[in-house]
Amino acid sequence: MGALSYLNHINDPADISGLSPSQLGELATECREFLIETILENGGHFAGNLGVVELTVALLAVFDTTSDRIVWDVGHQSYVYKTLTGRRDSLHTIRNYEGISGFPKLGENNADHFGTGHSSTAISAALGMAMAARLKNETGKTHIAIVGDGALSGGMAFEALNNAAALQPNLLIIVNDNQISIDPSTGAINEHLANITNQSSNIFTNLNLAYHGPIDGHDINALLDALHRLKSEQGARVLHVKTIKGKGFPAAEAEQTKWHSTTKYTKISTEKQSALPKWHEVAGDTMFAIASQNQTVVGITPAMPSGSGLVNCFKEMPSQFFDVGIAEQHAVTFAAGLATSGIKPYLFIYSTFLQRGYDQAIHDVALQQLPVVFCIDRAGLVGEDGPTHHGAFDIPMLRCIPNIKLLAPATKTELEAMMQMAQHYPYPLAIRYPKGSIPEWSWDFEADSILDHPGVCLTEGNTTAILSTGHATHLAAEAIKLAPNHAAHYHFPVINPHKPTQLLQLIANNFRHIITIEDGAIKGGFGEALFQDLYALGYKGSIHHLGIPDHFITHGNNRLLYRDCGYSPERISQVLKSLNQ
């Protein structure tokens, strides 16, 4: 990386306002070089940020972050914004433990006006800010929402557009149109955006929103002209900007999905890559095997074919697989509709995004007892993406809903068996599994009767029993190795059997101390459910719950986060030793 004659002198957005258009162009070039070097070395969201370099520079040259409000949607495209708003020297820490967040975050910097880790929220947030300014008679403030074309597939974005058109506040909506989110964008909105060539009739003008564009999002002069002009206007207005995801890095331009995010890169590496299968890959391969043999089975995902391991399914069986866009609520009810007509839908959805379809899971699936299968990916802590993406709440969310059975495999064999069994299960079923590789471990179990035998003894013990589920079972097994001969260990692949079992009665009768461990929220979770059942069985001993505590967990390496949350193998072993002294 060469000398950064402009970037090195940008310590505050105000330092940008005095630069000429040609100097701003040079600054954009330096930002792109700096981003490539920093993210390849340290990891993070990559291609999307390369696509908004010129747009970010132009925004900060025209608008004042101390008075104007800028909201990024979905937020992982804000790295250049962070670089130019006082965080240049800390960008190398992005997404690392105790480093800066990979998303805009209230409190991290005064220029971060709203936290955005989920999609399709920026217009609503910026509209709220604009109306607050109107109510407080604060004139002269512009409120800006930068929205990706993929985010426009989310219904919430259109709810906000509808409301903004009626209220007409000082709101500028910038559509960053690169025809891709993580995977290529799908649906009629995407096709419509691709076909807009001028300011004639389109979806925005039909909603009574002033439309401008489309313009080249990599032409700094065109951006500056448009933004200066729009700054002086009032009302709800749209600027349509065409960009290229991965711009300036040929490999990322050619393979935009692959380069959406990158791990730490070293030019010469002697590290061996793990040959262990990943959870989402096994889920995708199992789905492929099921759908190949059963044409009444379909797969659904809200814009995550690659992240959910379904790329081969979409390629080989396109009529059985549906990418509905970033539209989780629709995805759940779409699956419910399919289930009413003899089709077996498997909905592949990240735990953090299932939260957005919670009402539909209750009202449209569980209430009607429709046999939808929820394949809940990224359950538990997910590391560097942090609190917006941790899958902390799916167990408390689903455990309290009647008619939904919730499963949590700990092995590849269990996941495969659960997914195979699910195609014949006549009620709603949810299978949660984490991010990352599946450890090499297995045990004998009856796949066809897994729902009738929700727990299995893995290790015999004396006075203390560990009860774990899903990925936490591996953490518990590691802990037992650190504190041998102290505890029995029971794995529960079924989280909510809905009634006390004979196994729980045996545990209640034989152990003085019980430790429950889950890779999920303790409040309302697996452990608290077992406590209720054990209490009903007359258990008089001590119970200790380990899992995600009652606060939002920061970003960082999962091993560090497990330690901080108190359920790393080392922390578990400390609890074991304290109970057996």
CB 239 within 8 A of CB 173: yes
d(C-alpha 551, C-alpha 83), whole Å: 29
Q: What is the DSSP letter of 421?
A: H
Dihedral, 544, 545, 551, 555 alpha carbons, nearest 10: 110
DSSP string, 315-359: HH-GGGEEE--S-HHHHHHHHHHHHTTT-EEEEEEEHHHHGGGHH
Q: Which of 239, 434, 112, 307 minimizes the C-alpha distance to 101?
A: 112
Stated length of the chain? 581
Name the active-site residue from 82, 245, 399, 432: 245
Exactly one of 26, 30, 328, 384 is catalytic; name it.
328
Separation of alpha carbons 27 and 58, rounded Å: 10
One-letter identity of residue 219: D
Catalytic residue, chosen from 356, 378, 399, 432, is: 356
Structure tokens at 171: 């709101």
Maximal C-alpha separation, the chain: 78
d(CA 97, CA 558): 9
Cα 90 from Cα 103, distance rounded (Å):
14
Cα of 382 vs its chain's centroid, Å: 9
| Phi, psi for 430 (deg, rounded to 5) | -125, 135
Distance, in Å, from the CA atom of 274 to the CA atom of 276, rounded to the nearest integer, reads: 5
Is the separation of the CB atoms in 414 and 421 below 8 Å? no
Structure tokens at 286: 């199992």
Angle, helices 472-482/569-579, rounded to nearest 10 degrees: 60
Active site residue 356: yes
Provide DSSP, 82-104. HIIIIIGGGGGGTTSTTS--SS-
8 Å CB contact between 86 and 11: yes
**Cα angle 212-218-223, degrees, rounded to a multiple of 5:** 40
Give, in order, the Cα–Cα distances in Å from 458 to each of 142, 355, 463, 473, 575. 61, 33, 15, 10, 19
Alpha carbon distances (Å) from 390 to 381, 386, 409, 550, 552: 5, 6, 18, 13, 9
Q: Which two tokens stand for residue 159?
A: 């709810």
Q: In what order do the strands lie in the sheet with 297-301?
A: 321-323, 297-301, 344-350, 373-377, 429-432, 405-407
- Annotation says 231 is catalytic: no
Catalytic residue at 245? yes
Residues 6 or more apart whose CB falls under 8 angstroms from that of 458 comprise 443, 473, 477, 489, 490, 491
From 413, 394, 391, 314, select the one nearest 552 (Cα to Cα). 391
Residues noted as catalytic:
245, 328, 356
